[in-house]
Amino acid sequence: MLLNYLTRSKIERQAVFSSHPWVNSMVRSNYPTFRLLLYLEWLLLAAAMTIELLIPFQSYWSLLLRVVIIVVFGLMGFLLPRVKLGTQLIYTALEFGLILLSAIQGTSTAPAIFLSLSLVLVIRSCLMFKISKQLIVLGLCLISYGILLFSRPIRHEHSRVIELDWRPSNMLLFSLTLLFALLLINALIAESQSREKLEITHQELERTNQQLRQYALRIEDQATLQERNRIAREIHDGLGHTLAAQTIQINNALLFWQSNNDEALTFLKQAKQLGAEALLEIRRSLSVLRSNPLQGQSLKSAIEKLLTDFNKTGIEPSYIIDIPPSLPTEINTAIYRIVQESLTNIYKHALATSINVELVSGNGIIHLSIKDNGKGFNPTQNTTGFGLQGMRERATALGGQLDINSQLGTGCCISVSLPLSKLY
């Protein structure tokens, strides 16, 4: 558990640490901005302590009490209630009590100490409360300071006249100082929170990108495995069957070689035809394995060559191809693979004698139609084949659509529509 915690990133460790109920509700945050505010509190408290020690005092007990108040007030800065409002109010009331207890000692340092401790109180209120409650704390500080200031008149050394002229300006300076501190600290906190959210968002994006890369690798591996299995089935069902039949014809030819030359010649011709079909099957399998099936050809030339090779199977193809000379690689590959897979299915399953291929473009859409006059099938009962599923996925990936219309005894028609606007 400890090793797992230490190997995490800084933000993750802080998130785990701050998620603890006691830690999240009491302990000061560890981010740089909040540490800066804590250092500022220490400077103010150190200034208050220096004033108390340097200014002449009348009673050691009174001095000791004020020093203890400053120390306790400083230690309270390490524990800030951040969750429960009741605890926050009690905490703030206790701070007010300490400030007032220090002010009523009647020393000449009371206004300066009150200013330092009030600034610290405003800093902590910014960390605990929203802006409305912060203004309430600010108002209480101003009222308390005004009462302290106007209840302690300073008399001239040689007269009984009370000097009050400087107090409004002192009160104004105190108010502006607290208000400036309130605005500045809120700005620092907002900037720190924005930077924290940005860093966390960046790390979440990195994690998401890493997960996406892992998912992409898994999908690629799965697709590669499915493609290999499909090619293996094609070789087994097509090439294996053809070679087995060729072996039987050659054995028959050997049996009739001496007794019946004409019969043996017939078997040899059939074996030769089977060899040609096996060679065509090997070419198809190799073309599937190529990364770029067109091999630098245009789509029109590649499909024409595909149909010319398909004519050797005994099924007569006809075609119309009218498309732009240059299309994106994605659409070239998708259309070629769809035509290739369709011809393979027709050759294996359709028992067709003719097919018609139309590939045209119009109104920003590429239209592909492949029709045969074979035995047909029920499309609702052939939804799990990798061939049909792969063709549909290729069309969908390019924002297009693939439809299969077929019935038993009426042949089959495969229609594909691909929008050019999404491909350029």
Same domain for 317 and 199, yes or no, is no
For 145-161, write each residue's pLDDT tens digit.
Answer: 887 777 765 554 444 44
Res 405 pLDDT > 80 = yes
Same domain for 142 and 32, yes or no, is yes
Better-scored residue on pLDDT, 25 or 32: 32
CA distance 180 to 185: 8
Token pair 């610290």 is found at 120
Residue 367's pLDDT is what?
A: 94
Same domain for 203 and 305, yes or no, is no
Residue 340 near residue 379 (C-beta atoms within 8 A) = no
Average pLDDT over residues 126-131: 84
pLDDT band at 386 (very low <50, low <70, confident <90, very high): low
pLDDT band at 62 (very low <50, low <70, confident <90, very high): confident
| One-letter amino acid of 194 | S
Res 343 pLDDT > 80 = yes
pLDDT band at 359 (very low <50, low <70, confident <90, very high): very high
Residue 259 lies in a domain: no
Residue 321 lies in a domain: yes
Half-sphere exposure of 59 (CA within 13 A, CB side): 8
Residue 112's pLDDT is what?
A: 77
Same domain for 172 and 32, yes or no, is yes
Domain span holding position 422: 296-424
DSSP string for 126-194: HHHS-HHHHHHHHHHHHHHHHHHHHTSPEEPTT---EE-THHHHHHHHHHHHHHHHHHHHHHHHHHHHH
Residue 260 lies in a domain: no
pLDDT band at 33 (very low <50, low <70, confident <90, very high): low
CA distance 265 to 222: 48
Same domain for 150 and 43, yes or no, is yes
Residue 206's pLDDT is what?
A: 85
Residue 16's pLDDT is what?
A: 37
Residue 350's pLDDT is what?
A: 84
Lowest-confidence region among 13-27, 52-66, 158-172: 13-27
Average pLDDT over residues 57-84: 78
Res 345 pLDDT > 50 = yes
- Number of domains making up the chain: 2
Same domain for 33 and 175, yes or no, is yes
Residue 418's pLDDT is what?
A: 92
Lowest-confidence region among 41-55, 181-195, 357-371: 41-55
Number of H helices, E strands in the chain: 14, 7
Res 355 pLDDT > 70 = yes
Read off the DSSP letter of residue 291.
S
Average pLDDT over residues 58-69: 76
Residue 371's pLDDT is what?
A: 94
Average pLDDT over residues 270-278: 80
Same domain for 205 and 305, yes or no, is no
Closest C-alpha among 147, 191, 140, 199 to residue 171: 147
**What is the percent of the chain with per-residue pLDDT over 90, rounded to a whole number?**
8
> What's the token pair of residue 41?
């509190």
Query: Which one of 209, 238, 272 terminates a domain?
Result: 209
User: What's the pTM?
Assistant: 0.42
pLDDT band at 1 (very low <50, low <70, confident <90, very high): very low
Better-scored residue on pLDDT, 163 or 303: 303
Residue 270 lies in a domain: no
Residue 149 lies in a domain: yes
- φ, ψ dihedrals at 129, nearest 5°: -110, 165
Residue 72 lies in a domain: yes
CATH code for position 414: 3.30.565.10
The chain-wide mean pLDDT, for the chain, equals 77
Better-scored residue on pLDDT, 286 or 396: 396
For 97-116, write each residue's pLDDT tens digit.
Answer: 888 887 776 566 677 778 88
| One-letter amino acid of 264 | A
Residue 27 lies in a domain: yes
Average pLDDT over residues 62-68: 79
Query: Which one of 191, 209, 227 terminates a domain?
Result: 209
pLDDT band at 173 (very low <50, low <70, confident <90, very high): confident
CA distance 188 to 17: 23
> What's the token pair of residue 311?
């004519």
Res 388 pLDDT > 70 = yes
Residue 58's pLDDT is what?
A: 62
Residue 82 near residue 63 (C-beta atoms within 8 A) = no
Beta pairing, strands 412-419 & 354-362? unpaired
Residue 118 lies in a domain: yes
Res 216 pLDDT > 60 = yes
pLDDT band at 422 (very low <50, low <70, confident <90, very high): low
Average pLDDT over residues 284-306: 75
Average pLDDT over residues 248-267: 81
CA distance 104 to 360: 95
Same domain for 196 and 314, yes or no, is no
**What is the percent of the chain with per-residue pLDDT over 70, rounded to a whole number?**
79
Res 357 pLDDT > 90 = yes
